[in-house]
Chain A
Amino acid sequence: MPKAFLIDTTRCTACRGCQVACKEWKGFPAVPTKQRGTHQNPPDLTHYNFKLVRFAEHVENGQIHWNFFPDQCRHCLDPGCKSGASLPDSIIQDKETGAVIYTEKTAKEDFEDHPLLLPL
């Protein structure tokens, strides 16, 4: 049976515990970052950041809205990255769980050409 992540973004306070815990669990090194005028760092998902909290803010009717979105691979039912991949079996989908899995071949894909490709 396919499984999915459910993230209740209404409860998210942008503590980024998930972002840091994910990379520590996987033993990934830190990537160099700079303060660029936002709390969102690194700017995007990377090979060493499978989880990233995105920040967005705006004013609506005088009210400030500050929204947080913990982003990650969504293991789509019909993964765009897989259909956009140029090498056969570089991205596979596990039949049992629905997990979209990157392989050693994924690294050979041209990431510039495939915006849907999450760098997992």
Chain B
Amino acid sequence: MGVQNIRLSAIIQLLLGNIGVAGGGINALRGEPNVQGSTDHAILYHILPGYHAMPHAGWPTLADYLKANTPVTKDPLSANWWGNRPKYVVSLLKSWFGDNGTEANGFGYDFLPKLEPGEDYSYIFLFDRMYKGKVKGGFVYGTNPAQSAPNTHKVRASLDKLDWLVVGELHHTETSEFWHRPGVDPKKIKTEVFLLPSAQRGEKDGTVSNSGRWHMWHYKAAEPLGESRPMGAMAVDIMNAVRALYAKEGGAFPDPILKLDWPKAYEPEALAKRINGLFTRDTKIGDKEYKKGQLVPGFANLQADGSTSSYNWLYCGGYTETEGNLSKRRDLTQTPMQAAINLYPKFSWAWPVNRRVLYNRASVDKNGKPFNPAKAVIAWDGSKWVGDVPDGPWPPLATGKGKYPFIMTTEGHAQLFGPGREDGPLPEHYEPAETPVKAHAFSRQLNNPCMKVATSEMDKLAAPADPRFPIVLTTYSMTEHWCGGGDTRNTPALLEAEPQLYVEMSPQLAEEKGIKNGDVVVVESIRGKVEAVAMVTVRLRPFVVQGKVVHEIGMPFCFGWTTPKCGDATNRLTPSVGDPNTTIPEYKACLVNIAKAKKVTEL
């Protein structure tokens, strides 16, 4: 439902002309752990850094890949920015493979692993494969799937199938400790687990990117404790050890490993330069000459001929020869025009090219005059743009030399619905995979027909209006604990403030079930049971849905068994059902029942 809501909001904002203007957009709240930065750098399986599709077996060569992923337009007024994709992809490959990336091997494209077309490699299906014994081992860095992934019983059972597991973490978590979780005999778990102690955020240099795409440096404030190290150092050093082994022993296909231009040691500042991009040889662009090893001044200079490298074209221009690392800027100076919309162009640096408002040429008319002069983002002063960095260098459309404002779409115009989505085109109301109603109130289609559902014997779903599970559960975060709580449950002052798992419910439901505030209750779904303390509150109220009273309860998901007597994963209740496009799990709604606990073991 969240996806449908966001899509609907985006369409409404677009119809209202609220895109590219000050205070426009829908500003969907993103998650806490540097979601923008990690998405830009492709933490997810479906993209390479900089939002390029992941290569699949249907695109065996770089030429096939670029042909399939580089849009073409015949409209001279459309900038069609993705027409530049070959420059960004080749620069990315050059950053990975250096001098070993040549035209003959597609600049290293031939070394990349290729997905099976149409396969889903996201979290839900990764654990589905693991559960079915198809995964032998893996690395988990700074995430706690045995606590935060849906249908946690299945996730924990999946980890039992691994031969080996490496966990990079600050603390012992439900994932690093899965082999001696409650109810399990460690002697019967075959998995060998390695725990690599990680430095905490305050113990390392690096960057975070916020939802406004500001790239901000953070400084190390203290030395890492004991043997703990930044995760970047773990990745660099482990890969160097693997490379040494391949160099010595060879292997079935050593090229992807040995032909990497891999750093000798983890050095955040050097990495930031490589993210920006470097010239790989002496190069002349127009009448400007650049030396090998010099920083590329902006992504307009990236090339498809192998003369430039960049880990991520979006960040190109964020580290310059003259001004250094722009993510370190904390200068608050601004023009009066910028002050009117709270724009601080010299504080940190925003991708792309320090533009703070995307599609900002949509905020002006054909002559470059702002539709809202009091809150102008950019304006044409007769010879140049002032205000924010304009979305493209061209003069206004009325000059005849302009371009349409929506430069990232092939046609140059905004799209009410994007082509290539699994569902749609327009948003629709669907019931969740588990719903308290038997039939949709105004449609023959009850659930999203494209939703992704894992299908192992542990992936049970309650039938619509299942009388055994009449209550709707929603789950959420809280202020005091961060995500799965692995970090904050080990921060005593925060655990003091929120010590144990609770379940919020209405006084009406509590009365119906004979539950008093502070009682321990058992919450049960078709997938598992969870103990929690009842928090009876007027903030939850019964709904009347299709003439029937439906109760909703709410639980946080941050409490896990490695913190004694605080409760255990709420996600033992939630289903492995994912959104059609992203496979984001349906944490927000499933069916449960509750009863007062007869015996308390988890709290």
Contacts and interface: CB of A to CB of B under 8 A. Distances in A.
Interface of A: 14-16, 19-20, 23-24, 29-39, 41-42, 57-59, 64, 66
B518 interface: yes
A66 B502 contact: no
Contact of A57 (B494, B500, B539): B539
Given A29-B492, A35-B502, A41 B497 contact: yes
B487 interface: no
Interface in B214-231: none
Contact of B535 (A31, A38, A64): A38
B504 to A, nearest CB: 10
Given A14-B479, A16-B497, A19-B497, 8 more contacts: A20-B493, A20-B494, A30-B496, A34-B499, A35-B502, A37-B518, A41-B496, A57-B538
Interface of B: 479-480, 492-502, 517-519, 533-539, 603
A41 B537 contact: no
A93 to B, nearest CB: 30
B538 A30 contact: no
Contacts of A34: 499-500, 533
A23 B502 CA distance: 24
Contacts of A64: 538-539
A35 B496 contact: no
Contacts, number: 63
16 contacts: A15-B479, A19-B497, A20-B480, A20-B494, A24-B493, A32-B496, A33-B496, A33-B499, A35-B499, A35-B533, A35-B603, A37-B534, A38-B535, A41-B496, A57-B537, A64-B538
A19 B536 CA distance: 24
A64 B541 CA distance: 10
A20 B481 CA distance: 13
Contacts of A59: 538
Given A15-B479, A37-B517, A37-B533, A42 B539 contact: no
Contacts of A33: 496-497, 499
A59 B541 CA distance: 11
Contacts of B533: 34-37
Contacts of B535: 35, 37-39
> Would you call the interface of chain A mostly helix, strand, loop, or mixed?
loop
Nearest to A19: B497
A39 B494 CA distance: 12
Given A16-B480, A57-B537, A57-B539, A30 B498 contact: no
Nearest to B494: A20
B227 to A, nearest CB: 26
Contacts of B500: 34-35
Given A16-B480, A37-B518, A57-B539, A42 B496 contact: yes
A32 B603 CA distance: 14
A60 to B, nearest CB: 10
A37 B494 CA distance: 17
* Listed residue (A29, A41, A57) with the most chain B CB atoms within 10 angstroms of its CB: A41
B499 A37 contact: no
A25 B518 CA distance: 31
Contacts of B538: 57-59, 64
Contacts of B517: 36-38
Given A37-B502, A41-B497, A57-B538, A30 B492 contact: yes
A64 B502 CA distance: 20
Contact of A35 (B493, B501, B539): B501
B166 to A, nearest CB: 32
A39 B498 contact: yes
Nearest to A13: B479
A114 to B, nearest CB: 25
